[in-house]
Amino acid sequence: MPQNEHIELFQKRYGFRLDYQERQRKKKAREHKLQSKLAQNLTGIKGKIFAKKRYSEKVQLKRTIKAHEEKKTRQKDEGKTPEGAMPAYLLDREPTSQAKLLSSMVKQKRKEKAGKWDVPLPKVRAQSEAEVFRVMKTGKSKRKGWKRMVTKVCFVGEGFTRKPPKYERFVRPMALRFKKAHVTHPELKATFCLPIVGVKKNPSSPMYTSLGVITKGTIIEVNVSELGLVTQGGKVVWGKYAQVTNNPENDGCINAILLV
């Protein structure tokens, strides 16, 4: 029997499509096995990079699924009352309008975008990258210049661990890492040395915010639990925002005013 007839007979008997699309479909269906094998066998920095990549992919997938699962809900329509008589069977009904549920992430983004602080320094001079970063030459012959050293005061968390030197792009020197700030309460007219919790926003650049760079005008979060501030409900206030009012790299300390 010729080969082509044998393949046709095989396809008719078992209903298989032995063409390119079918092979590609099967290859795609087996991809998860390869991903699983890589996740088990990769170690060290390669394993960390692979795990980080897979985590971001899964987060994106979950967000996509959640966006597709958003349901439509009915909300009360606060519009004007229509003119004219209304039938008796509609008197007890409330007019409704279709509204789409927004995910908590979108709500949080909108809240941050709309939220504005009444800050002591509404306008500050923008810091350029040439001021904040210094180019570090690396390599055997010092030809590579992809590393940057931060020349401003910065904040890193408690459990911060530096990346291996081979993969670390932004170097934050130990001498410029600050953990406490001198915060002045505008109503009490008193200054306290409070621990820094994090950097909320650096007006110069979002990249400075992610790196924890603290310059004049930066909004930082400080731990005010030792001040004994309480809310109207009687709960102790743990963290509050403050704005930096000096140039920390020149003064050697962070001075800030509490935002109340």
Mean pLDDT of 175-193: 94
Mean per-residue pLDDT over the chain, rounded: 83
In a domain, 10, yes or no: yes
Number of domains making up the chain: 2
* Domain stops at, among 62, 87, 102: 62
In a domain, 48, yes or no: yes
Position 108 scores a pLDDT of 63
pLDDT-based confidence at residue 201 (cuts at 50, 70, 90): very high
DSSP string, 157-199: -TT--PPPTTT--EE--GGGB--EEEEEETTTTEEEEEEEEEE
- Domain containing 213: what range? 129-258
pTM across the whole model: 0.56
Does residue 252 have a pLDDT over 90? yes
* Domain stops at, among 44, 62, 80: 62
Q: What is the DSSP letter of 83?
A: S
Does residue 194 have a pLDDT over 70? yes
Mean pLDDT of 163-192: 93
Q: Do 137 and 44 fall into the same domain?
A: no
Does residue 256 have a pLDDT over 60? yes
- Going by C-alpha positions, the residue among 150, 146, 107 that lies closest to residue 131 is 150
Q: What is the CATH number of the domain that holds 184?
A: 2.40.10.310
Does residue 221 have a pLDDT over 70? yes
Query: Which residue type is seen at 249?
Result: E
The pair of structure tokens assigned to 62 is 């979950």
- Going by C-alpha positions, the residue among 226, 206, 221, 210 that lies closest to residue 254 is 221
Q: Could you read off the pLDDT of 80-107 as tens digits, one per residue?
A: 556 666 676 666 665 555 445 456 667 6
In a domain, 103, yes or no: no
* Domain stops at, among 26, 41, 62: 62
Chain centroid to Cα 139, Å, comes to 32
Q: Which helix (H) or strand (E) holds 211?
A: helix 206-211
